[in-house]
């Protein structure tokens, strides 16, 4: 089994550079140790992970209203070519998982829409872990993803899942307002605007809340250079509330939120061992169904 993983925004150049430079040693190291080590490696329990280099939109581009769309478009051309290479040279007809966080999740969602939804490749997609963006519930259906559903059960395959972590006590309405506005501008309606939230511990729509005792292991510390610290089990309680994954953290995890309580940097690290176990479960379920058919 193979995973096609796309990393988030990691190019932090102070200059007016809109996309990550190929071969930039410093940027590549930061990407590898702050993101790939702490996110993509969660899938190595079940699969071979392929994490391509690409000209990701820079931090400057992401915060720029003038250059953002152009930078994302250029980055996606790299992702799409990398996916073609992955299919031809890595996957070679085998099933696969898609995974990405933040900017990487945006590219994965665009790839899923353009290249997988309703095509023969959909039958090979075990799941898509699209983490840290704001896909609305109404995008799964006629508006965007016409035949790929949201994952509602832990062992379901051929589906997509998403969550955005925020600290308990955060102003949810303040965080949700821009999601609602973007969705309304995109689709001309507020119907279905609330973000998809799949609880990243239970992975079960019937269990939107979980106790800290159920959490298999979080990665302590803010992502950065150097190895991961040992995982801590039983350290995160989480509930889906209005489309956001609201978390209560045990003391000592040393996870720094963004202003307002957004835990964006830790969307996968908070649930590292849970994601690892769930990916393995979905792979097992996929092969079980293949044998029965």
Summarised one tens digit per residue, pLDDT across range 194-244 is 999 999 999 999 999 999 999 999 999 988 888 999 999 999 999 999 999
Determine which helix (DSSP H) or strand (DSSP E) holds 200, and give its type and residue range.
none
Half-sphere exposure of 188 toward its Cβ, with a 13 Å CA cutoff?
A: 1
CA distance from start to end of the chain: 18
- In the predicted structure, residue 293 carries a pLDDT above the cut 70: no
Residue 87 phi/psi, 5-degree rounding, is: -65, -40
In contact, 268 and 39? CB cutoff 8 Å = yes
- Stretch 175-204: mean pLDDT: 96
Q: How many CB atoms lie within 10 A of CB 173?
A: 9
pLDDT classification of 51: cutoffs 50, 70, 90: very high
Catalogue the E-assigned strands of the chain: 2-6, 48-50, 96-101, 125-131, 159-161, 165-167, 209-210, 236-241, 244-249
pLDDT tens-place string over residues 239-286: 999 999 999 999 999 999 999 999 999 999 999 999 999 999 999 999
Over 80: is that where the pLDDT of 13 sits? no
CB atoms within 10 A of CB 103: 28
Which tokens in the block code for residue 203? Answer: 């992975």
CA dihedral of 88, 90, 110, 9, whole degrees rounded to 10: -130
Q: Is the pTM value of this prediction over 0.85?
A: yes
- Token pair, residue 286, equals 């996929």
Percent of the chain with pLDDT over 70: 99
Token representation of residue 51: 């994490």
**CB 156: neighbour CB atoms within 10 A?**
20
Give the model's pLDDT for residue 224: 86
8 Å CB contact between 83 and 111: yes
pLDDT the model gives residue 70: 96
Task: Specify burial of residue 281 (Cβ count, 10 A radius: 0-12, 13-18, 19+).
Answer: middle
Tens digits of per-residue pLDDT, 61-113? Answer: 998 888 899 999 999 999 999 999 999 999 999 999 999 999 999 999 999 99
Q: What is the mean pLDDT of the chain?
A: 95
pLDDT of residue 201: 98
């Amino acid at each position: 089994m193979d995973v096609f993983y796309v990393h988030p925004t990691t190019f932090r150049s102070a200059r007016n550079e809109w996309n990550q430079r190929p071969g930039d040693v410093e940027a590549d190291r930061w990407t590898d140790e702050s993101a790939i080590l702490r996110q993509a490696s969660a899938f190595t329990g079940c699969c071979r992970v392929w994490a391509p280099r690409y000209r990701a939109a820079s931090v400057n581009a992401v915060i720029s209203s003038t250059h953002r769309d152009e930078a994302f478009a250029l980055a996606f051309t790299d992702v799409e070519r990398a996916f073609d290479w992955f299919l031809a040279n890595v996957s070679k007809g085998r099933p696969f998982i898609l995974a990405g966080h933040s900017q990487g999740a945006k590219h994965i969602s665009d790839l899923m829409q353009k290249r997988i939804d309703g095509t023969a490749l959909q039958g090979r997609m075990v799941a898509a872990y699209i983490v840290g963006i704001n896909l609305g519930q109404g995008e799964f259906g006629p508006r965007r993803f016409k035949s790929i559903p949201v994952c509602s059960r832990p062992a379901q395959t051929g589906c997509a899942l998403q969550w955005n972590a925020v600290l308990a006590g955060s102003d949810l309405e303040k965080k949700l307002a821009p999601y609602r506005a973007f969705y309304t501008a995109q689709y001309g309606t507020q119907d279905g605007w609330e973000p998809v939230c799949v609880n990243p511990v239970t992975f079960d729509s019937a269990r939107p809340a979980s106790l800290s005792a159920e959490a298999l292991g979080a990665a302590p510390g803010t992502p950065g250079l150097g190895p991961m610290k040992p995982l801590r089990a039983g350290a995160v309680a989480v509930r889906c509330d209005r489309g956001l994954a609201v978390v209560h953290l045990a003391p000592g995890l040393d996870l720094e939120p963004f202003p307002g309580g957004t835990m964006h940097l830790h969307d996968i690290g908070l649930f590292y061992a849970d994601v690892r176990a769930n990916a393995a479960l979905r792979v097992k379920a996929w092969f079980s169904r293949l044998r029965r058919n």
